[in-house]
Amino acid sequence: MSEFAVVIPARFASVRLPGKSLRDIVGKRMIQHVYERAIASSAIEVLIATDDRRIADAAKGFGATVCMTGDHHNSGSERIAEVCDTLGWPDDRVVVNLQGDEPTMPPELIDQCAALLDDPSADIGTLASPIARQEDMDNPNVVKAVADAAGNAVYFRRALLSPDDAAIALHHHGIYAYRCGVLRRLVAAESCAIELSERLEQLRALHLGMTIRIAVPVVRPGAGVDTEEDLAAAAIELSK
């Protein structure tokens, strides 16, 4: 597996759960749980990227390296692209976007995601599991992915799906691997109609003709945190 870095984008002004990066989960802030997952992976470098001094101070308090970014970014990808440019990372550097609301992501899945880019035909790597519950099919916070026979993404959506779609739909997890050059091209492009319709940035990559390689994770991660209910579920998982 090629060397890779992990960047954890974190912002305070989350629409659905404001300040969630700093919310307590079993005695630690959520961002610390995410960071500890990242440093337990094979990454050669782990950074937290934020525009918020409260998050930066908390991260430095538990020993994380922080890269301050602008406050104008619309996505974690844009924030990570700024980190790539600030640190002068070359276009072939592999970076994993581990979103700051994934406190239960197993470290081995970070490695698995990064390893997808060992295949030069893949522009972006990500992970998705079979849909586990009907309520996930009905939940717009659970992003559904569809892949072709080669494991490349065909589409992503939030919309409600019928039970018959469970055979082809996958539960997309909040982790991506890119080469810095691909990431720079992605964030330089304008948003497209399908991206705006679904509010899913990965659809911009498909619109640009990029290949998104999807793998089923070797272990199933817990859900990301978007709501108070998700926060409670993460606390149960992390208490085990």
Q: What is the pTM of this model?
A: 0.94
Encoded tokens for 210: 């990029």
What's the pLDDT score for residue 115?
98
Give the phi and the psi of residue 152 in degrees, each rounded to 5.
-100, 140
User: Cα(50)–Cα(93) distance, rounded to whole angstroms?
Assistant: 21
Indicate the pLDDT class of residue 1, thresholds 50, 70 and 90.
confident
In the chain, the domains with their CATH numbers are 4-238 (3.90.550.10)
pLDDT digits (tens, 9 = 90+) for 203-239: 999 999 999 999 999 999 987 888 888 889 999 999 8
What average pLDDT does range 76-95 have in this prediction? 96
pLDDT value at 4 more than 80 = yes
Question: pLDDT tens digit string along 100-154?
Answer: 999 999 999 999 999 999 999 999 999 999 988 878 888 888 899 999 999 999 9
